[in-house]
Amino acid sequence: MRKSRHFSGRIEWFAALEHGRDHRDAASCERDEGVVAAGRASALPWFLLAARLVAATGKRVLRHGWNSHQADGVRSVLAVAGIGRGAGREAAKPVKDTLAPGGAGAVQGAIALVGAGPGAADLLTLRALRLLQEADVIYYDRLVDPAVLELAGRDAERVFVGKEVGACSWPQDRINAVIVAAARQGRRVVRLKSGDPGVFGRVTEELEAARHAGIPVEIVPGVTAASAAAASLGRGLTERGVTDRLMLATAACKPGDPEPDWATMLKPGTSLAIYMGVGKAQSIISGMQAAGIPMSLQTEVTSHASTAREKTVCCTLGQLPRALIDGAIGNPAVILVSWPKSDAQGHKAEIAA
């Protein structure tokens, strides 16, 4: 095992935690199946310490969350996988028992509504990473990439609560109920949503459920799909002197709601990002055409942005339905439509004629 000189703080290696006693024999650390490292007097946040720990040992960080007042001599604990996991799990049991609801270290549960980003795990924010490592239970959506879930703590329970478009295997009321129930048990709950939870992520319903129950709740922003799509295309969502307004819209409206009013959203000088619009492309185009929006506008579609399955097509607005079919583009996707300010006069003259 490499020495602790790779860290800015003093690092002590513990082979196991047995009956609350520390084992500081570095040689035994090499043999033990579960290794626990504790950093003392480090000025680094734990997640940066964890990254350096991985670099120094070549082992995977599995768990964080125990503090010095919860286990003798152990501070900023990071559990790391060695040869196997069985011994490490048994060794850590006394500490985990202390942290269990009702134990000496029990704390009030809390809910974090966390943005998982567009797909790529390295686009996750540092705060989201910390909460995933500390979570007791994670309720995640269909579009959350498996690589993001791999960053969660080893012992975190993972519960799939995803929805397919047009199907509700997990109705929103049920999701609200389970996250509140878990937090009432004293558990740290992460509600993991793709992209940014505040952008078409039904965050309001879950916020209200938590607040009504008197449970602490926070929102952790994530990289939204429109930003990732534009980055994949190698351009910005807006351009100085060309588009000075950005509109975000979803084609997946609440059942019974009218279709979006595209005429009010898309005007000269606007970049419009339409989420989940592939299945309604023909209806969207028909509505825009009826509103007098030019069918020659530049249109770009990116599906599965930032992932290995990413696909992109570029066309005019009028060509969109056919381009989606030819390019085998499906949801999740973002349709980006740009209407430059310079086209305003020409459009007015075209309407007058």
Question: Strand locations in 284-332, DSSP E?
Answer: 298-303, 311-316
Type of residue at 86: G
Q: Which of 194, 60, 170, 61 is nearest to 115 (CA)?
A: 194
Residues 6+ apart with CB under 8 A from 191: 111, 112, 113, 114, 139, 175, 179, 197, 206
Q: Which helix (H) or strand (E) holds 67?
A: none
- Please confirm, yes or no, whether 122 is among the known catalytic residues: no
Rounded to 10 degrees, what is the CA torsion of 229, 230, 232, 234? Answer: 170
Q: Taking the chain, what is the end-to-end CA distance rounded to the nearest angstrom?
A: 79
DSSP per-residue codes, 92-129: THHHHHHHSTTSTT----EEEEEE-BSS-GGGS-HHHH
Residues 6+ apart with CB under 8 A from 227: 118, 237
Q: Which of 32, 136, 141, 196 is catalytic?
A: 141
What's the number of CA atoms in the CB half-sphere (13 Å) around residue 170?
15
DSSP state of 187: -
Question: What six digits make up the tokens of 281?
Answer: 């492309």
- Please confirm, yes or no, whether 257 is among the known catalytic residues: no
Q: Which helix (H) or strand (E) holds 341?
A: none
Q: Which of 163, 267, 311, 341 is catalytic?
A: 163
Catalytic residues: 141, 163
